[in-house]
Chains A and B, each alone.
Chain A
Amino acid sequence: MRPDSRLLLFLSLAGVLLVSACATPRGTGDLGIVIERAAGSVQVVETTTRTRLARVSGLGDLSHASVVYSRDARYAYVFGRDGGLTKVDMLRRRIEKRIVQAGNAVGGAISQDGRLIAVSNYDPGGVKIFTADTLELVADIPAGSGDSARRSKIVGLVDAPDRRFVFSLFDAGEIWVADMRTPRQPRLQKFSNIGKLPYDGTVTPDGRYYIAGLFGEDGLALLDLWQPDKGVRRVLDGYGRGQEPLPVFKMPHMDYWAQSGGLAYVPAVGRHEVLMIDQKNWTETARIAVAGQPVFVIARPDGRQVWVNFAPPDNDTVQVIDTLTLKVIRTLKPGKAVLHMEFTPRGENVWLSVRDENRVDVYDTETLERVTSLLADKPSGIFFTARAQRIGQ
């Protein structure tokens, strides 16, 4: 053996040792992603020790970004504003693959079997479907409305059982269901006249009902995915009682269906109220006055509390509703621009992104006190890997 080949052998052995030392096996169940919207980076965080593990950069424009996880919770799929779809390896903490698949995108979903990623696009309006492993294009669903060639922006894209994706057409006021049993040839079922300007949509945690919130009128559009042929029906019609809504300085979101004890909690558009819906008959049972216009209304996983954040100028405030008494039990002022909230898988903590303070705050949901803060560069969305196992997330 020549000296240089011995050196090579030594180096490669050392390399193997080094790699195996780094690759201590670990799970991903307590990991998550924090979007740093202005920097185009994400943080990989861990909820057990409440720490940042790494920062991954180069994800493009994350003005409006969201994340879904592979079913093994190893990979995060990050949907960026610039049409970027980035697959991030949560363990190696690096970008696995990145494509720019449209001019302007807003969110996405992963299929029931974990094999497909769907992206909802604003420009050109429609949904594109990719393989989850290699991000290769499988199908393109341009969203023209009716006979019109005009494309519609897509909102509220979610997965649903029986290998379906469901989404809403913002401009056209329609809900479409895409049956993906033959991935290259999606079968579409279209529902028109569902209401003006659906701004977002979500499914109930059991995957049965798809609900779109309407911006252009007071009400929600409801589709029973067990019986889609019965069509879309309007619920909470005219909840504004004819009163002029307030100007909306930030669109509300329907990130995940907030429910507790058979009741669901949704933001009232243009009103300082959270609406409560009885899910047995889909009627309003009560409304709770809150500090501003709700953006996110999210329930602790056990349903005991509902947390609400608000549009400007009240976006320094977070309120906690007790679902037993239906009263606001705490008004928190975490700082300027609270953009998103995410519960740990079983809800002992909630993480809040406080954009203008460059902080992520972690609260204890029992004491309602802040337990720690993490530094982050203009943080927005927070997404924990527990989403990997939930329908609609």
Chain B
Amino acid sequence: MRTLTPMTGIMLAALMSLGPGMAHAEVPETRQAELMHLLTQDCGSCHGLKRRGGLGPALTPEALTGKPAVMLREVILHGLPGTAMPPWKNFMSTQEADWMVQMLLEGRTDAP
């Protein structure tokens, strides 16, 4: 998981070329508030309200260092089989998952 495969490298490069801030524009503000609530409360059930971990691992920017954003998005959407991480794809779109990853990587806990 920690080693960068060529594929994730490519995906990472692709994502970085999008530049920061892109996802913000695509998720309406009211929806951002809902997603932040889900991130804090529901993700927080396992990862902690302050993202410092629990039954699931910590999700602080430090803890996520080196993990490609696309991989994180895929884990959110599809879960990790064999672990307690479920797929959240019925709760959010791909764009919204991208926005959540951005919030995690920036350590943001505020929303409109």
Contact = CB atoms under 8 A, between A and B. Distances in A.
Q: Is B a genuine binding partner of A?
A: yes
Interface of A: 37-38, 61-64, 81-82, 103-104, 106, 122-123, 153, 155, 170, 197, 199, 215-216, 247-251, 312-313, 337, 355-356
Interface string B40-72: 111011101110111100000000000000000
Given A81-B48, A247-B86, A251-B46, A313 B54 contact: no
A345 B54 CA distance: 31
Nearest to A62: B49
Given A63-B54, A104-B54, A249 B86 contact: yes
Contact of B79 (A38, A104, A170, A247): A247
Interface in B10-41: 37, 40-41
Interface size class of B (residues with CB under 8 A): 20 to 34
Interface in B80-112: 82, 84, 86-88, 91
Given A170-B55, A251-B55, A312-B42, A63 B50 contact: yes
Given A197-B84, A215-B84, A313-B91, A250 B53 contact: no
B55 A123 contact: no
B4 to A, nearest CB: 24
Contacts of B82: 216
A64 B52 contact: no
Given A61-B48, A63-B48, A251-B46, A355 B53 contact: no
Contacts of A122: 53-55
A104 B41 CA distance: 17
Nearest to A378: B41
20 contacts: A37-B49, A38-B40, A38-B49, A63-B44, A63-B45, A63-B49, A63-B50, A64-B48, A81-B52, A122-B53, A122-B55, A170-B55, A247-B86, A247-B87, A250-B42, A251-B46, A251-B55, A251-B84, A313-B91, A355-B41
Contacts of A37: 49
